């Protein structure tokens, strides 16, 4: 596509050195760069690299997404620099360690048809929620015990850590509020039957996460969906005391079910398909 006159004007506003810097970084298939990247490419002091990053930002060629990290805005961004690299790549630059999880991972694995304007980032760090190009990036802080079950996944020319199908199901059962509620968890589990999901691994991950509420919700939903979980009775015997809500996104009401040791504050008929409810 030929650049417009506005885009030509914008590109001409760059100095030769700035243009070469962007070209060299882009040729390395980088969409997100740091001050250190600029310093290394040009072999200049960090202070000079910060000055150049600031100048490129002011000219509309870089967008700051977090302290010391910038998104390169290509020609396709147009005159106003309106451009978004894949949201998972941006998310991976916001905090470390991290992986894409919850509702965002459900979408990635095709386990839900519901879209969210929030990108969920699982991390052991405490980080602030951010809004970039109309999307909300929400870090969810977990213990180190729960930071597992993900793998590098190709996103364009980048690699981003995303939770596996099994870990996504367990994470969503652990925190249904980060995936749209228990109804979305139920749909995801049902859809997982048609995938390469390993129920043995789901059970293993439930034990590693160690959250009694997550185990109870998975067992309850598996029964409603006629899914045979391995080591079923071991899971039942591991039920912790207390009656957590089946759906923590809904009002705290309903009966206490002694079989599953859950407070059924929503009915299965409200979220299961007609042939299963």
- 237 and 100, same domain (yes or no): yes
Q: DSSP assignment of the chain, as one string?
A: -PPPHHHHHHHHTS-HHHHHHHHHHHHTT-SEEEHHHHHHHHT--HHHHHHHHHHHHHTTSEEEEETTEEEE--GGGTTTT-----HHHHHHHHSSS-EE-HHHHHHHTT------SEEEEEESS----EEETTEEEEEEE--GGG--SEEEEEETTEEEEEE-HHHHHHHHHH-GGGTTSHHHHHHHHHHHTTTT--HHHHHHHHHHHT-HHHHHHHHHHHHHTT---TTHHHHHHTPPSS--BS-TTS-S-SEEETTTTEEE-S-GGGTS-TTT-
pLDDT at 85: 63
Q: Which of 69, 58, 71 is nearest to 15 (CA)?
A: 58
User: Which of 50, 77, 104 is at the close of a domain?
Assistant: 77
pLDDT at 80: 53
- 71 and 95, same domain (yes or no): no
- 243 and 133, same domain (yes or no): yes
Range of the domain at 12: 5-77
Q: Is a pLDDT exceeding 50 seen at residue 2?
A: no
Higher pLDDT, 130 or 30: 130
**What's the mean pLDDT in 159-176?**
97
- 226 and 137, same domain (yes or no): yes
| Count of domains forming the chain | 2
pLDDT per residue as tens digits for the range 65-124: 888 898 887 655 554 555 566 899 999 999 999 999 999 999 999 999 888 899 999 999
Residue 276, domain member (yes or no): no
Q: Which of 117, 260, 268, 255 is nearest to 182 (CA)?
A: 268
CA atoms within 13 A on the CB side of 89: 17
pLDDT at 11: 41
- 155 and 238, same domain (yes or no): yes
- 142 and 241, same domain (yes or no): yes
CATH number of the domain enclosing 9 = 1.10.10.10
- Percent of the chain past pLDDT 70, that is, above it, reads 88
Residue 277, domain member (yes or no): no
pLDDT at 268: 87
- 218 and 99, same domain (yes or no): yes
pLDDT at 1: 38
pLDDT at 67: 87
pLDDT per residue as tens digits for the range 35-70: 999 998 888 999 999 999 988 888 888 888 888 898
- 29 and 128, same domain (yes or no): no
Beta bridge pairs of residue 69: 34, 66
pLDDT per residue as tens digits for the range 229-262: 999 999 999 999 999 999 999 999 999 999 999 9
Q: Is a pLDDT exceeding 80 seen at residue 27?
A: no
Q: Which of 182, 93, 165 is nearest to 132 (CA)?
A: 93
Q: Is a pLDDT exceeding 90 seen at residue 213?
A: yes
Residue labelled with tokens 């147009």: 78
- 243 and 135, same domain (yes or no): yes
- 142 and 43, same domain (yes or no): no
pLDDT per residue as tens digits for the range 187-197: 999 999 999 89
Q: Is a pLDDT exceeding 70 seen at residue 170?
A: yes
Q: Is a pLDDT exceeding 50 seen at residue 158?
A: yes
Average per-residue pLDDT for the chain: 88
0.75 surpassed by pTM: yes
């Amino acid at each position: 596509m030929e650049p417009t006159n506005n885009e030509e004007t914008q590109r001409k506003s760059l100095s030769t050195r700035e243009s070469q810097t962007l070209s060299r970084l882009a040729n390395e298939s980088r969409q997100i760069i740091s001050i250190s990247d600029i310093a290394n490419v040009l072999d200049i002091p960090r202070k000079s690299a910060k000055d150049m990053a600031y100048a490129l930002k002011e000219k509309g060629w870089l967008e700051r997404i977090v302290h010391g990290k910038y998104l390169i805005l290509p020609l396709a961004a147009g005159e106003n620099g309106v451009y978004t690299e894949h949201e998972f790549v941006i998310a991976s630059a916001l905090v470390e360690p991290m992986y894409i999880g919850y509702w965002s991972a459900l979408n990635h694995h095709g386990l839900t048809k519901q879209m969210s304007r929030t990108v969920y980032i699982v991390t052991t760090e405490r980080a602030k929620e951010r809004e970039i190009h109309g999307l909300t990036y929400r870090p969810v802080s977990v213990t180190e015990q729960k930071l597992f079950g993900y793998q590098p996944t190709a996103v364009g020319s980048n690699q981003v850590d995303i939770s596996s199908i099994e870990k996504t199901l367990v994470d969503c059962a652990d925190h249904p509020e980060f995936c749209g509620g228990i109804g979305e968890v139920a749909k995801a589990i049902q859809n997982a039957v048609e995938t390469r999901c390993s129920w043995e691994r789901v059970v293993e991950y439930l034990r590693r996460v160690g959250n009694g509420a997550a185990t109870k919700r998975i067992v309850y939903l598996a029964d409603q969906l006629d899914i045979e979980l391995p080591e079923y009775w071991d899971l039942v015997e591991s039920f912790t005391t207390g009656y957590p809500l089946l759906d923590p996104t809904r009002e705290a009401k309903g009966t206490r079910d002694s079989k599953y040791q859950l407070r059924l504050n929503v009915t299965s008929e409200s979220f299961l398909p007609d042939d299963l409810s």
